[in-house]
Amino acid sequence: MKFSELVKQRFSARKYLDKPVEREKINQCLESARLAPSACNSQPWRFIIVDEPGLVSSVSAQTYNQLISFNKFVGNAPVIVVILMEKPKLIAQIGGKIKNKEYPLIDMGIAAEHFCLQATELGLGTCMLGWFNEKSIKDILKIPANKTVGLLISLGYPDYAKLPDKKRKKFDEIVNYNLYGASEI
Ligand SMILES: Cc1cc2nc3c(=O)[nH]c(=O)nc-3n(C[C@H](O)[C@H](O)[C@H](O)COP(=O)(O)O)c2cc1C
């Protein structure tokens, strides 16, 4: 698939077939995430793949509650990827402080998107999840208290007849050449 096609095909999948995902495919997605760039090549991430059904159900229950239920669909995903933010190299920590930038967050986002794009190429569906109960997930997965869970990704075979529409800002709303606010594109 051409890259331009791949980015159009990736969407947040919130319906999954009742079908397990082969570990070989999951590992291919992880390999693409592993090759992501990061500030000072710190690679400040660790991926925990939750594919044991009992654990998937316990973790998914920590992404919604009765009041805030938009993540209820996660309960039907066969796999949940938990991305931990590890301490970056000292040089990246110092650089981030001086320049007031959260490099590990940027790094993790890039790696997560590598994962999702690779999954799309393999016919899998993903949804990044920023809304979850971090403390409970750490307890369930025995993640040390001093670690940070940055993001979850639900993963599975998507159950969609057609691609959902992409809702995006218009090109000229987000792009300026040369000067902020310039109208020429
Ligand atoms: C950092 C981040 C956190 C997100 N958290 C959630 C979430 O908790 N639940 C959810 O359903 N979608 C979540 N999304 C998916 C976005 O809603 C989705 O990417 C956006 O609406 C664009 O749609 P698309 O991915 O289908 O193109 C998240 C996306 C990102 C990048």
CB distance 89 to 42 below 8 Å? yes
Q: Confirm whether 43 is domain-assigned.
A: yes
Residue range 85-115, pLDDT digits in tens = 999 989 999 999 999 999 999 999 999 999 9
- Give residue ranges with CB within 6 A of ligand 1: 11-12, 70-71, 127-131, 166
**Mean per-residue pLDDT of the chain:** 96
Q: Confirm whether 180 is domain-assigned.
A: no
Residue range 73-89, pLDDT digits in tens = 999 999 999 999 999 98
Domain hosting 10: range is 3-174
How many whole angstroms separate alpha carbon 38 and alpha carbon 88?
A: 9
Residue 182's pLDDT is 87
Residue 183's pLDDT is 81
In single-letter form, the type of residue at position 55 comes to: L
Ligand 1, atom 18: nearest CA belongs to which residue? 12
Q: Confirm whether 184 is domain-assigned.
A: no
Number of domains observed in the structure of the chain: 1
Cα→Cα distances 172→106, 167, 181, 182, Å: 24, 15, 10, 10
Cα–ligand 1 centroid distance for 103 (angstroms): 20
Cα–ligand 1 centroid distance for 98 (angstroms): 30
Label residue 139 by pLDDT band (50, 70, 90).
very high
Q: Confirm whether 183 is domain-assigned.
A: no
Residue 43's pLDDT is 98
CATH code (residue 9): 3.40.109.10
Ligand 1, atom 11: nearest CA belongs to which residue? 71
How many whole angstroms separate alpha carbon 89 and alpha carbon 64?
A: 34
How many whole angstroms separate alpha carbon 87 and alpha carbon 81?
A: 19
